[in-house]
Amino acid sequence: MSATGRAVAIEAGAAPALRGVRRRGPWQLFRRSRLGVTGALLLALVAGAALAAPVIAPRDPGTLNPAIRLQPPGAAYWFGTDDFGRDLFSRVVYGGRLSLEVGTLVVLCTGTAGILAGITAGYFRAADAVIMRMVDALLAIPPALLAIALMAVLGARASNVVIALTVAFVPQLTRVVRSQVLVLRETMFAEAARSAGASDWRVAFLHVLPNAWSVVLIQSTVTFADAVLTEAGLSYLGVGEPPDVPSWGNILSDGRNYMIQAPWMTLFPGIAIVVCVLGLNLLGDGLRDVLDPRFRQW
Amino acid sequence: MTRFIIRRLAAVIPVLFLVAVFAFFLVHLTPGDPAAYMLGPLATPAQIHHLQEVLKLDVPLPIQFERWLLDALRGDLGESLFMSIPVPLAIWQRAEPTLLLTLMAVAVEILVGVTAGVVAATRRNTWVDQAAIAFTALGLSIPSFWFGLNLIFFFGVYLRWLPVAGYVPLSVSWIGAVKSLLMPACALGLISSALVARMTRSSMLEVLSQDFVRTARAKGVAERRVTWHHALRNALLPVITVIGNSFAILLGGLVVTEQVFAIPGVGLLVINAVLHRDYPVIQGVLLYIVMLYVFINVGIDIIYALVDPRIKFG
């Protein structure tokens, strides 16, 4: 209590500008990053629409109605209708649900696997050689090609998309976490914990990992954005979700044959992807500005 | 220098070996028996048994791998199950449009990325710089296939400047080949140029603040020459690495771009192989693309060492 009282007393006398500098937490810094806030807003728009899909979608995304085939956008059908007379707005909104679900699961799986592998590699010399050789090999395969090859053997299903994308994106995170661990394990506080008798695992997870968190967070926004992009590409190619599922890639792939009669079929799902991925990328840039002083430039 | 190249090439061997292991075991990731999975539910037991023999699935796994690897080292990657021709031949027949498309896409990427980065850095904090930042943010967020569809719609359907889809082989007309690949090369190259532009800009900003740039200006060198000659040459080093890494995006993006523009290249080959469960072709394309990517990056490391005398060859 007395410490808080003293801080307030000093602050009351300090110049307002100085107070601003001293009291600025990550949230205040983030709010000042225009890019980051824009990204968070774009993402909130997509996520809000996706979460509220059952409420805001005027029709069922799968109901066929040949009587209203290829209706242009208007008051009744905001984004128009597709070649089967399905409401495109409902389909795009439900597609957002799917993309964000896949992206979230990929980030969680990549995060778990990447953190475990990265810490193990950074901490244990013997494991390092094995893990990093595997990471090098996986990094030599272009991620999109790796995901396509895995989908070929696993079969087109949403759960398999998550597996394929996790395998494709885990090497990047592993490498990032490992390089952080290699730096952090030599710091004074890790040394102090070690000399107090903490085990390697305890130092790794309770002392090193919390300090690598910001880097994991930044890399995760990149993974999320790449996952949404690649997922759309996979289902566009017909190797992602089954064709009847309203994913953004599937809607685009349906619209490809009607580009001249019904350009809205490719326009709206494409814009949805761009808004979602741009939101994630800008959010990542904003977080990087706040959390990683080395990248203050861009 | 020779020692550096040999060491760099030697480092490639374990990577390629592990990728080969991955490609081999890919087939065994299928649920159940690979032969039955490939042929689908309508196959007779005799057909399944025949395919097991063709794929050499009837011996223990380690022996299968040993035989497959030895064959692969001799260049024998098996036969396409669907087209009944050797896999290397199938890839070779479709290599021309893919290689040309990759080259053109890299040219677009370097041209646009480096120019945008330099222009943004020399006009820091102006509207030009802001526009370049917006361009890179957008470039990293647009799916290349959707961008390609929009290009088709605008330049192919609306303006009718360029062919909508397909490929004219070089042997028929090289102008036709370039024209048919112009849109796909832009779809691929413009998007990956965003990364190049980012790196060029931040690298240029660093170099432009250095003493030798001030010296060059002080002795009266024209600003244009300072930017493009003195500063850019020194700023390009990290950019070269980014260009090397961007091949991962380019080579992966080929598959979907060739599908969008109906270009009969390696990407279309692999996607057809996926749809027909033609595993030898998938394995073959995977190995060839990885080899291409790995050796491009070895080449880039060597260029890097040649350009930057500070890198020791020892």
Contact A131, A123 (CB under 8 A): no
Residue B273 with chain A: CB contacts under 8 Å? 152
Nearest CB neighbour to B18, from listed A133, A142, A297: A133
- Are the Cβ atoms of A137 and B15 closer than 8 angstroms? yes
The pTM for the full model equals 0.87
Residue A298 pLDDT exceeds 60: no
pLDDT of residue A65: 79
What angle in degrees, to the nearest 10, is found between the helix axes of B127-139 and A264-291?
Answer: 110
Q: Tell the burial category of A85 from Cβ atoms under 10 Å away from its Cβ (0-12, 13-18, 19+).
A: middle
Residue B224 pLDDT exceeds 50: yes
Contact B10, B2 (CB under 8 A): no
Cβ of residue B286 closer than 8 Å to a chain A Cβ = yes
Cβ of residue B188 closer than 8 Å to a chain A Cβ = no
Nearest chain B residue to A272 by CA distance is: B142
Radius of gyration of chain A (CA): 24
H helices of B209-229, in order, are 211-218, 223-225
Q: How far is CA A70 from CA A90, A258, B157, B210, B247, in A?
A: 15, 9, 19, 60, 39
Nearest chain A residue to B271 by CA distance is: A237
H helices of chain B, in order, are 2-26, 34-39, 45-54, 61-73, 87-93, 95-122, 127-139, 144-151, 174-208, 211-218, 223-225, 232-261, 266-275, 279-307
Rounded Cα distance between A48 and A61, Å, is 17
Contact B232, B213 (CB under 8 A): no
Residue A297 with chain B: CB contacts under 8 Å? 202, 205
Residue B203 pLDDT exceeds 50: yes
Sole residue written with tokens 């890639």: A249
Residue A3 pLDDT exceeds 70: no
Q: Which residues pair with A221 in a beta bridge?
A: none
pLDDT tens by residue, A92-125: 999 999 999 999 999 999 999 999 999 999 888 8
pLDDT of residue A13: 43
More confident residue, B20 or A298: B20
**Which amino acid, residue A201?**
W
Q: Which of B12, B24, B146 is the best substitution to test chain A (most A C-beta atoms within 10 A)?
A: B146
Indicate the pLDDT class of residue B287, thresholds 50, 70 and 90.
Answer: very high
CA–CA min distance A37, chain B (Å): 14
Cβ of residue B153 closer than 8 Å to a chain A Cβ = yes
Q: Report how far apart the first and last C-alpha atoms of chain A are (Å, whole number).
A: 41
Mean pLDDT to the nearest integer, B71-75: 87
Rounded Cα distance between A273 and A96, Å, is 8
Contact B271, A239 (CB under 8 A): yes
Contact A95, A248 (CB under 8 A): yes
Rounded Cα distance between B246 and B250, Å, is 6
pLDDT tens by residue, A34-86: 888 999 999 999 999 999 888 887 888 877 877 778 778 877 778 888 888 78
Domain ranges of chain A: 1-25, 32-295
Q: Chain A window 238-267: which residues touch B at a Cβ cutoff of 8 Å?
A: 238-239, 252, 256, 259-260, 263, 266
Other beta carbons less than 10 A from residue A26's beta carbon: 11
Cβ of residue B274 closer than 8 Å to a chain A Cβ = yes
Q: Chain A window 33-72: which residues touch B at a Cβ cutoff of 8 Å?
A: 35
3-state secondary structure string across A221-253: HHHHHHHHHHHHHHHHHCCCCCCCCCCHHHHHH
- Within 8 A by CB and 6+ apart from B11, the residues are none
- Are the Cβ atoms of B133 and A298 closer than 8 angstroms? yes
**Which amino acid, residue A291?**
L
Contact B239, B303 (CB under 8 A): no
Region A32-295: CATH code: 1.10.3720.10
Instruction: Compute CA A162 distance to the chain's CA centroid, rounded to the nearest angstrom.
Output: 13
Choice among A6-10, A172-176, B171-175, B260-264 with the minimum mean pLDDT: A6-10
